[in-house]
Amino acid sequence: MSALLTWTSALPVLIILSSLIPGLLIFATPEHARTRRTVLNLTGIVVKLILVGLMLRGVSQGLEFRFELNFLPLAPLVLHGDALSLQFITLSSILWLATTIYAIGYLEGSPLRSRFFGYFSLCVSATVGLALAGNLVTFLLFYELLTLSTFPLVVHRGTPAALRAGRVYLAYTLGGGALLLMGIALLHALIATPDFVPGGYLLQHIDNYSLGFQVAFVLMIAGLGVKAALIPLHSWLPQAMVAPAPVSALLHAVAVVKAGAFGIIRVVYDVYGVEASTLLSLTQPLLWLAAATMIYASVRALQQQDIKRRLAFSTVSQVSYITLGVALAGPVAAVGAIVHLVHQGLMKVTLFFCAGNFAETLGIHKVQEMDGLGKRMPWTMAAFSVGALGMIGVPPIAGFISKMYLGMGALEVDQPWVVLVLAGSALLNAAYFLPLLYRGWFGKPPAKGWKEDNFYGQRFETHWMLLIPALFTAVLSILVGVFAGSIFSPLGWSELIVSREFVQ
Amino acid sequence: MTYALVSLSVPLFCALLLTLAGPKLDSRHAGQIAIVCSALSLVAAWFALMQMAELNQTILLELGGWESGLAIRLRLNPLSSLLLLFTAFMHVLIGVYAAFSRQGVSRDFWPLSSFLHGSLAALWLSADLFNLYITLELLGLTAVAMVALAGKKAYKPAANYLILSLVASLFYLLGVALIYGRYGSLDVVLLSLQTQSDLLTRIALLIMTAGLMLKAALWPLHLWLPAAHANAPTAVSALLSGLVVKGPLFILFLLWSEVAPVDLAQQIGPVLAIAGMIALVAGGLSAMRSPYIKTLVAYSTVAQLGYAMMALGLLLTWQLPQMHVALWLFVIAHGLAKATLFLAAGEMQATLGTKRISGLRGATQTVPVAMFAFAVAGGSLIGLPPSGGFLAKWVLLQPLLSEPQNWPWAFGVLLGTLVSAAYIFRVVAISFDRARINPPDIRPDRVGHWLALLPALMVWGMALTGDWLIQLLAGSSV
């Protein structure tokens, strides 16, 4: 802290504070002060987006954003904005905007909204902090804060089912957090905790501590794998579906599973480094695990009749694409992995928004009830279709780009079997998404009318705050696919990251 | 040293004054005087600590001006000055709580708490086995009297506590007598140069250890603690769990790390460490099963002392000074967190009119601040970053992880973490239940709830000074 606080060192802190401070103020906001709460929410988001924009510009020009505070011996608290953190921050800030608007519409008139939005903002602060973390100890800190701030959201409804899901969630994530702590403490005991470096910092010690490094890797991946929902640590995610739809969006797209996947990226690329992880023969088992998760979760998704549960298993499968790309340990696959972080987020958040709309508007929760939805809610159904087709990998939607890079990456590192796994997963994706689309567009609406029919005869097919975010993210998922060639697309940015990671 | 003496004598004089004044002073004035005295002691302790941080060495003072061996010797080092500060802070905090929250205390609380403060301060500064005996006895008697403040229902636990406390003191005294007979000295520094690992010394040390473990409620001699701590008045429970059990622990630490010969210490080390691990798990499991809020918190003390015992045991086994940092960080972090837990538990009990954990349904809505305080303090007990509990656990883990043969110990810490998480979140999860809310009997007492939150915030803030604290404690290693 002795150094002067310049704007480049203050910016990472400000980005975290821009959601933390509104969050704390929202806790103190009385329940009925709806306007004040909305203003606080939106101010926070706008400020954050501006700050993130500033940082994006700075990083693309090669500026360093670093903040340091004494914490533990040889392990300070470091916030560091690099290209990889910005990939995640930009995603979560934009999706935070969409999800907040959605949540305001979704929770209209329900109790305890101040508590909800307070924790919601804390959750985003933790996510952003985790993205900006400059070393493992800082990462751990925000990783645990994320667990703590999402728990109240998962149990928000306070029903016995919600509490059960919340207990399962905590058991998994706190257990994972403890394992992660052990892994990080082990690495620290061996070689202290320096900053994340592209290419990792272990290679020079590899001869002395190879056993310790392997154990630490297993511990950390197990800890991160809980949030990233790798099998066999994924069961909390489908159970957490009882939470309100905006929370599901947050868990699946904005924050939680992404935090796990992002952590895996950090550990493999910026702590171990591709070379050291290959030398320690760590990447191959991770690759198998990711491939197994992809196939297993897709099969499980096929069996689900509840729309949200099907989407949940689809998340389990899709997030392990990221792990797969990381474990392939080649630059092209790395691009696929890092870009999929964004692409999966955009598409999955769209799907969850739409599923929430179906439930809120017509009371539809099951796949069988989707017949003829397209006639009553064409816009939502269209957005849903974009998300689903993107997940399958239909061009030009975002998902296609990531799958293409992952496939090419697998060939590049001479693992052709992975292409088969990818193809199999795409087929399974099609098998569990296309029936939904078919029912929605070509099925017949139920003769005796919908179970319930809210917002009928209004300007839009549903509440506008529910519809706009879904359309917004659907359009974004197409745009990032169409303009993938531009430098400011997620793909262009991922290539920038990878060019820095794999520089020899 | 002057500052430390001020910090020690102010509460003692205060206790004397309040006792002499007797019923002439009403409870409010007595409270004000006691708080002011604790605050004065706090300021003095702060200066003492600053002085120590600068000097970073041990200062000895011979009271009465006699030469060593005859004189009563006081010793000030960074550790004891930190403990002085911690004790004074806890007394100010609990005093303010007792004076301003709705859950008032009787007039007798004030002289007793001042007395407790004084005897603890004396304990931290003593470096003589007999001196330590006196402070220990004072501490125990005061604590028993404070438990009894809760009225009739607490008489039985208080009586049990009294008997156990006396037996423990006698054990300790017997050991002291044996040591004196063998070496003709009771001064810790002198003894550390003389002791040999013969049979008599062994027996003396073991007897003393048994007494101290009973007093500090270290597993397996902990059975008296939950009843005594759970039945005391809220403010007293916080003092007992946060501070009093740490006194005997300090003596145990002095005894084995300084007085005992190294080879004996290395023999007892693993035993203590294993007992600590069992305490962590067994205490945690008892806390998990307890149907009452305060009993859960009391059992968590038993469990958390396991961490301290583990740190002490491994310190002795490996003769690693680093462990001593972990030990005292645990003590301070636990003290702060436990103050919050007891205050929050007491407040919730009073507001919701139930002692049972199942009565906390919907507590996030009915008593949000107290429940939040409970969760935050619980986070430190679990050891979530960046809390004080995390800091301690981190320091403890480092040597355990650096060598593969030590990894089983780290597994014990992991198990402890998981068990603590289980019993803390058992309470937190119930508080989110919206299905069958327990409506409050009375309006929440805002002052009390916010005061309960304060130490929890401090224990999380403690992490930010982590580097400094570790350096300070590492400087005073023996």
Are the beta carbons of A186 and B418 separated by less than 8 Å? no
Q: What is the pLDDT of residue A2?
A: 42
Q: Considering only CB atoms, which chain A residues are within 8 Å of B463?
A: 71
- Residue among B124, B119, B149 at smallest CA distance from B137: B119
Are the beta carbons of A72 and B394 separated by less than 8 Å? yes
- Name residue, tokens 């990711």: A290
Q: What is the pLDDT of residue B33?
A: 87
Are the beta carbons of B425 and A141 separated by less than 8 Å? no
A191: contact with B, CB 8 A cutoff = no
Are the beta carbons of B385 and A141 separated by less than 8 Å? yes
pLDDT band for B67, please (50, 70, 90 cuts).
low
Are the beta carbons of A211 and B468 separated by less than 8 Å? no
pLDDT tens digits for range A382-435: 999 999 998 888 888 888 888 888 999 888 888 889 899 999 999 999 999 998
Average pLDDT of every residue of chain B: 87
Q: Is the pLDDT of residue A504 over 60?
A: no
pLDDT tens digits for range A304-342: 888 888 988 999 998 899 999 999 888 888 888 989 988
Helices (H), A328-415: 331-362, 373-376, 378-392, 398-412
Q: What is the pLDDT of residue A1?
A: 42
Tokens of B336: 């702060």
Average pLDDT over residues A287-292: 92
| Min Cα–Cα distance to chain B from A346, Å | 31
B382: contact with A, CB 8 A cutoff = yes
The residue of chain B with its CA nearest to that of A183 is B401
Are the beta carbons of B404 and A158 separated by less than 8 Å? no
- 3-class secondary structure, A460: coil
Q: Considering only CB atoms, which chain B residues are within 8 Å of A137?
A: 385
| Min Cα–Cα distance to chain A from B99, Å | 27
Task: Give phi and psi for B326, each to the nearest 5.
Answer: -60, -45
Q: Which among A144, A162, A175 is the nearest to B384, CB-wise? A: A144
A174: contact with B, CB 8 A cutoff = yes
pLDDT band for B478, please (50, 70, 90 cuts).
very low
| Min Cα–Cα distance to chain A from B429, Å | 7
- The ipTM value here is 0.88
- Name residue, tokens 């002439």: B24
Q: Is the pLDDT of residue A222 over 90?
A: yes
Q: Which among A144, A157, A185 is the nearest to B394, CB-wise? A: A185
| Min Cα–Cα distance to chain B from A359, Å | 22
A77: contact with B, CB 8 A cutoff = yes
Q: How much of chain A exceeds pLDDT 90, in percent?
A: 25
Q: Is the pLDDT of residue B309 over 70?
A: yes
The residue of chain B with its CA nearest to that of A171 is B422
pLDDT band for B476, please (50, 70, 90 cuts).
low
Q: Considering only CB atoms, which chain A residues are within 8 Å of B427?
A: none
CA distance B288 to B282: 10
A76 and A215 Cβ atoms separated by less than 8 Å: no
**Range ranked top by mean pLDDT from A25-39, B214-228, B367-381:** B367-381
Are the beta carbons of B397 and A212 separated by less than 8 Å? no
Residue A306 pairs with which residues in a beta bridge?
A366
Average pLDDT over residues B339-360: 89
Average pLDDT of every residue of chain A: 87
Q: Considering only CB atoms, which chain B residues are within 8 Å of A165?
A: none
Q: Which among B400, B433, B463 is the nearest to A163, CB-wise? A: B433
Are the beta carbons of B362 and A73 separated by less than 8 Å? no
The residue of chain A with its CA nearest to that of B419 is A175
Tokens of A324: 């797969």
Residue A43 pairs with which residues in a beta bridge?
none
Q: Considering only CB atoms, which chain B residues are within 8 Å of A157?
A: 434
Average pLDDT over residues B322-339: 90
Q: Considering only CB atoms, which chain B residues are within 8 Å of A186?
A: 401, 410
CA distance A444 to B122: 85
Q: Is the pLDDT of residue A218 over 80?
A: yes
Q: How far apart, in Å, do the first and last CA atoms of chain B sit?
A: 19
CA distance B375 to A441: 49
Q: Is the pLDDT of residue A25 over 80?
A: yes
A160: contact with B, CB 8 A cutoff = yes
Are the beta carbons of B385 and A137 separated by less than 8 Å? yes
Q: What is the pLDDT of residue B66?
A: 60
Q: What is the pLDDT of residue A292?
A: 92
- pTM of the predicted protein model: 0.90
Measured CA distances, B274 to A360, A469, B254, B279, B310 (Å): 56, 56, 20, 8, 7
Helices (H), B126-198: 129-148, 155-183, 188-194
Q: At residue A304, what is the residue type?
A: Q
Distance of CA B238 to the CA centre of its chain: 9
pLDDT band for B64, please (50, 70, 90 cuts).
low
pLDDT band for B127, please (50, 70, 90 cuts).
confident
CB-defined contacts A:B, below 8 A: 95
Q: Considering only CB atoms, which chain A residues are within 8 Å of B410?
A: 182, 185-186
Q: Considering only CB atoms, which chain A residues are within 8 Å of B364?
A: 115, 152
pLDDT band for B249, please (50, 70, 90 cuts).
very high
Q: Which among B362, B435, B468 is the nearest to A159, CB-wise? A: B435
| Min Cα–Cα distance to chain B from A315, Å | 26
More confident residue, A371 or B249: B249
Q: Which among A148, A178, A189 is the nearest to B418, CB-wise? A: A178
pLDDT band for B366, please (50, 70, 90 cuts).
confident
Q: Which among A148, A160, A211 is the nearest to B379, CB-wise? A: A148
Indicate which of B372, B395, B401 best probes the interface with A, i.e. most A CBs within 10 Å of its own CB: B401
Q: Considering only CB atoms, which chain B residues are within 8 Å of A174?
A: 382, 418, 421, 425
Are the beta carbons of A73 and B365 separated by less than 8 Å? no
B227 and B162 Cβ atoms separated by less than 8 Å: no
Q: Which among A163, A174, A186 is the nearest to B401, CB-wise? A: A186
pLDDT band for A111, please (50, 70, 90 cuts).
confident
Q: At residue A193, what is the residue type?
A: T
Q: Is the pLDDT of residue A503 over 70?
A: no
pLDDT tens digits for range B382-431: 988 888 889 999 989 988 888 888 888 889 899 999 999 999 999 998 88
A118: contact with B, CB 8 A cutoff = no
Q: Is the peptide bond before A30 cis (omega within 30 degrees of 0)?
A: no
Average pLDDT over residues B109-125: 90
Cα dihedral: B36, B38, B43, B46 (round 10): -170
Q: At residue A147, what is the residue type?
A: T
Are the beta carbons of A175 and B394 separated by less than 8 Å? no
Are the beta carbons of B401 and A155 separated by less than 8 Å? no
Residue A72 pairs with which residues in a beta bridge?
A75
Are the beta carbons of A178 and B394 separated by less than 8 Å? no
More confident residue, B314 or B467: B314
B365: contact with A, CB 8 A cutoff = yes
A473 and A346 Cβ atoms separated by less than 8 Å: yes
Structural domain spans, chain A: 282-504
B414: contact with A, CB 8 A cutoff = yes
Q: How far apart, in Å, do the first and last CA atoms of chain A sit?
A: 33
Q: Is the pLDDT of residue B69 over 60?
A: no
A63: alpha, beta or left? (left if phi > 0; alpha if psi -120 to 50)? beta
CA distance A22 to A40: 6
Q: Considering only CB atoms, which chain A residues are within 8 Å of B401?
A: 182, 185-186, 188-190
Are the beta carbons of B432 and A141 separated by less than 8 Å? no
- Residue among B45, B68, B191 at smallest CA distance from B121: B45
